[in-house]
Amino acid sequence: MQLPIDVKALIDEMTDIEAARNTPLSVSVFIDEAAPADLAAHVRNAFASTMPSVRMTVSYLDDTFMPHPTDDVAVIAAGESAAIGPAATAIRAVGVPVMVVTTLPTIVAQKAEGLGHAIPEGDLVSPEIETASEEPYALDDEVRAALDDRMGRWIVAACHDKRLALAIAFPFVRRPLARDAVQTTSIQNVGIGLVPILPGADLPVMTLNQAKMVLQIAAAYGLAMDKDRFKELGACVGSAFVFRTLARELTEFLPILGWIIKPGIAYGGTAALGYAVIEYFEGGGDATGVAAVLERATEKGTKIVSKARSIAEDPSSLDIPGKVSNIVPIAREKAAKYAPVAADAITDLAKGAAAIASTISTQVAAR
C-alpha cells in the first residue's frame, strides 16, 4: 500500500522523541522562607520526578543561595521576601531561565521593582483566575489547576529546546505542550493550504505534520514509541485524511471559495484531530479511544459537507460581494454531484484508517 506520508521522517521523529525521553535535566527549586506553605509544597511536588535522567534539587532562598549555571531551569517559590528580585536577576545572569511562582503576584512584583530588580512580566507566574481575591490566593483545586497550567505554559515558552523532555518528566507540562503542538501544527497546515501547488502535493506534507503532532502529544503523555503504540497512533493519523479529502471535494464544487476552504479545513481538521488525540491520551489511550477519535473525525467531516452543500445552494449566505450570484447555478450542480461523493469518502477513509495504521506499523517494523 502506497502511503501519502514519509515513513522515514516519522521514524526520525520517533528517534528524536526517544532522545528527549533520555535527555538529562537539571532543575533547581528555591523556596522562599516567607512563601505560603501551600505554595511551597505544591511547587516541590510539581517538580518531583522519579526519572533517572532528572536531577532536581530543593533549597531555601537564604544567605547560602547560589545560582547553578548548569541548570536547565530554575524555579523560585516566592513569598514577600526582599531576596526574590535579586535572586531572579542572579539566575538570569548565568543564562538560566527562571520562573518566579507566587500566589502574591502584586506584592512580589512591587517589592522586586522597588529594589531595582524588576521581574519580567512573563517570568512572574501566578494562577490566572477570573474572580479577584485577596493575596495570597488560597490553593484550592481550581486555583491549583490554574497554577499548573500557567507553569506549564511558561515551560513551553521559555524552554523550547528541552520542553518535550520537561513534559515527559513533569506531568503539569503535558497539556500545555500538547495544546501548543496542536496550535503550531494547525497554523503550519494553514500556510501549506494557502500555497498553490500541484493538486494533492500538499497531502504528504500536511499528513506528516499531523503525524508528528500526534507523536509529540503521545510522548508528552509518557507513552513509549514502540510498534504497538505506533499502530494505534497510525489509526489516529489515518482519520486526518478525512479532512484533506473534504477539502479536495469541496473545492471541486465551490472553486471560487477554494482559497477559503483549503486553509480553513487544514486548520480546523488538524485542530480537531489534535484536541481529540489529547482527550484520547488523557482518557487512558486505549483502543476505544482510537475509535472515538475516528468517530469524531467522521462526524465533524459530515457536518462540513452538509454546511458546504447549504452554502452551494445559497452562496449569498457567506456575504461575499461581487459576482456570487453568477456561480449559483454551477454551485448547485456541482454540489448535487460531489456532496454525496465527499460524504462517502468520509466513511471510506474512516474505515480505512485501521488499514493505513497497519501498513505504517509494518513498514516501521521492517526498518
Q: Looking at residue 206, what is its pLDDT?
A: 73
pLDDT at position 276: 76
Instruction: Give the pLDDT confidence of 151-204 residue by residue, as tens digits.
Output: 999 999 999 899 999 999 999 999 999 999 988 888 887 766 665 554 544 556
Cβ atoms within 10 A of the Cβ of 336, count? 13
Digit-coded pLDDT (tens) for 78-133: 999 999 999 999 999 999 999 999 999 999 999 999 999 999 999 999 998 776 56
Which of 25, 36, 258 shows the shortest CA–CA distance to 139? 36
Determine the CATH number of domain 24-169.
3.40.50
Every domain of the chain and the residues it spans? 24-169, 171-366
181: which 3 cell numbers?
A: 503542538
Residue 75: beta bridge partners? Answer: 29, 99
178 Cβ contact list (under 8 Å, min separation 6): 216, 217, 220, 221, 274, 278, 281
DSSP state, residue 148: H
pLDDT for the residue numbered 261: 54
**Tell me: the pLDDT tens digits for 23-64?**
999 999 999 999 999 999 999 999 998 899 999 999 999 888
What pLDDT sits at residue 320? Answer: 43
In the prediction, which pLDDT does 76 show?
Answer: 97
Find, among 353, 351, 347, the residue nearest to 232 by Cα.
353
pLDDT band at 270 (very low <50, low <70, confident <90, very high): confident
